Amino acid sequence: MSNVELTQRWQGAMMDNYGTPRVPLTHGEGATVWDADGKEYLDFVSGIAVNSLGHAHPAVVRAVSDQIATLGHVSNLFVAEPPVALAERLLQLFGRAGRVYFSNSGAEAVEAAFKIGRRTGRTHMVATTGGFHGRTMGSLALTGQPAKQEPFLPLPGDVTHVPYGDVEALRAAVTTDTALVILEPIQGENGVIVPPAGYLAAAREITRATGTLLVLDEVQTGIGRTGHWFEHQAQGVEPDVVTLAKGLGGGLPIGATLAFGPAADLLTPGQHGSTFGGNPVSCAAAVAVLDTIEADGILDRVKRAGERLRDGIESLDHALIGHVRGAGLLLGIVLTESLAPQVQQAAQDAGLLVNATGPDVVRLAPPLVVGDDEVDTLLRGLPGVLTAVLNAAHAAHEG
């Protein structure tokens, strides 16, 4: 099976939600993946910040194979140990009393938060322009990206979107009728946008004063991605609800909604649920991810590798690089020209997988276990890629 054959089969059978597919991948190990033609790539996308321990990590492989061989699924009609162990482990990482609801994706984790918000008896919600919270109808109502919303209007809910990072806009929008405020600690899909210092703390103060739930969407920033278990912990803020997914399952589908204090008891039996949520295999994989992050000191490694990557990119001093933003191993290279899709393609041709988020931002989100040598390989390859893209763009412009 070649790249061309697999792509043709994709085009014949798959609903085209994503436009022209990128290269078909067949297998991976650590931060390396291979395509159907046998070409090797360094993976700085990680399934969009999902493969936290890289591809085929032995701890995840073992946890999944042991669990599927023991008890693959029970539904929510029965209890299994892995979801309980995972919930206990997550609550322990937060160090607060709370409750956990498991689902299968980030959007579903947000959907549950939306319903928790509704159970306050208030209907108004506040989210941020450019924010991304998923594409199911409730989560899409909170996603602040009109192009993704417009094909599906009307969306449920009474949602006000305010500019991200603007404390006064938030203060003006949130009232004692507001059920929840939902924020990403760093906007991921919108191009790795870091809010001004103190933004989350201000959101906490505003929501506390109005009796509004503060929901922090850590689907992309959570589980060590920024060098902390959860990015809001680095900022010293205690939310009422947290949503997780992506890196939690180390490649298996899982979403989690954690609720603390009174928010933990707003959903009552019969109001919400999911057949697959809390699936023992996904939960066993997630426990293995958390155990490995802890046992191998991966948070410190993320901080160090993130600094190496960021410093390295900044010191390339390239004409196409404006600046670098983000935290840990969630970084955005802001280009000086709108050439991010071209950089993504040229990098792929050079064996480097990166991700264009918008016209001028290249997102880097390698596995949390990425090695210094792999960071250096990317840093060595990047200048040639950027120069080729810049030269081609200028040649096209002149020609």
Q: Catalytic amino acids?
A: 132, 217, 246
For ligand PMP, which residue of 35, 43, 111, 189 counts as binding (CB under 6 A)? 189
| Nearest residue relative to ligand PMP (C-beta) | 106
Region of 39-47, 91-99, 100-108, 317-325 interacting with ligand PMP (CB under 6 A): 100-108
Alpha-carbon distance 41 to 47, whole Å? Answer: 13
Per DSSP, the three-state class of 200 is helix
Based on the number of CB atoms within 10 Å of its own CB, is 3 exposed (0-12), middle (13-18) or buried (19 or more)? middle
Contacts of 86 (CB under 8 A, 6+ apart): 100, 102, 256, 283, 286, 287, 290
Residue 185 found at the interface with ligand PMP (CB under 6 A): no
Cα 179 versus chain centre, distance: 24
135 annotated among ligand-binding-site residues: yes
Q: Measured from the CB atom, is 170 or 320 closer to ligand PMP? A: 170
217 binds ligand PMP (CB under 6 A): yes
SS3 (DSSP) at 274: coil
Q: Which is nearer to ligand PMP, 32 or 114 (CB)?
A: 114
- Interacting residue with ligand PMP among 219, 256, 347, 361 (CB under 6 A): 219
Name the residue nearer to ligand PMP (CB basis): 103 or 178.
Answer: 103
Instruction: Please state at what angle helix 81-94 crosses helix 280-295, rounded to 10 degrees.
Output: 40
CB of 219 to ligand PMP, least distance (A): 4
User: In the complex with ligand PMP, which residue's Cβ is closer, 98 or 255?
Assistant: 255
Tell me the site size for ligand PMP, rule CB under 6 A.
15
Determine if residue 103 is labeled as part of a ligand binding site: no
Shortest approach of ligand PMP to residue 188 CB, angstroms? 4
Q: Strand 178-183 vs strand 124-128: parallel, antiparallel, or unpaired?
A: parallel
Q: Is 134 a residue that touches ligand PMP (CB under 6 A)?
A: yes
Q: Tell whether 219 is in a known binding site.
A: yes
Q: Which residues of 52-89 are buried (b: 16+ CB within 10 A; e: fewer)?
A: bbbbebebbeebbeebeeeeeeeeeeeebebbebbbeb
- The response to whether 274 counts as a known ligand-binding position is yes
Contact between 107 and ligand PMP by CB under 6 A: the answer reads yes
Q: Does 220 bind ligand PMP (CB under 6 A)?
A: yes
Q: Which of 259, 263, 261 is nearest to 243 (CA)?
A: 259
Nearer to ligand PMP, 182 or 390 (CB): 182
The answer to whether the annotation marks 338 as part of a ligand binding site is no
Site membership for ligand PMP, residue 160 (CB under 6 A): no
Query: In the set 122, 133, 161, 363, which binds ligand PMP (CB under 6 A)?
Result: 133
Secondary structure element (H or E) that encloses residue 243, with its range: strand 241-244
* CA-derived radius of gyration, the chain: 21
Distance spanning both ends of the chain, measured CA to CA: 39
Is the CB of residue 376 less than 8 Å from the CB of residue 395? no
The helix/strand/coil state of 399 is coil
Taking contact as CB under 6 A, which single stretch among the options 67-75, 198-206, 212-220, 379-387 is the one that binds ligand PMP?
Answer: 212-220
Residue 107 in marked binding region: yes
Whether 241 has a binding-site annotation, put simply, is: no
**Is 132 one of the annotated binding-site residues?**
yes
342 makes contact with ligand PMP (CB under 6 A): no
Question: Coil, strand, or helix at residue 224?
Answer: coil
| Residue numbers belonging to the annotated binding site for N(2)-acetyl-L-ornithine | 135, 274
Annotated binding-site residues read 106-107, 132, 135, 217-220, 274-275
Contact residues for ligand PMP (CB under 6 A)?
A: 48, 105-107, 110, 132-134, 184, 188-189, 217, 219-220, 245
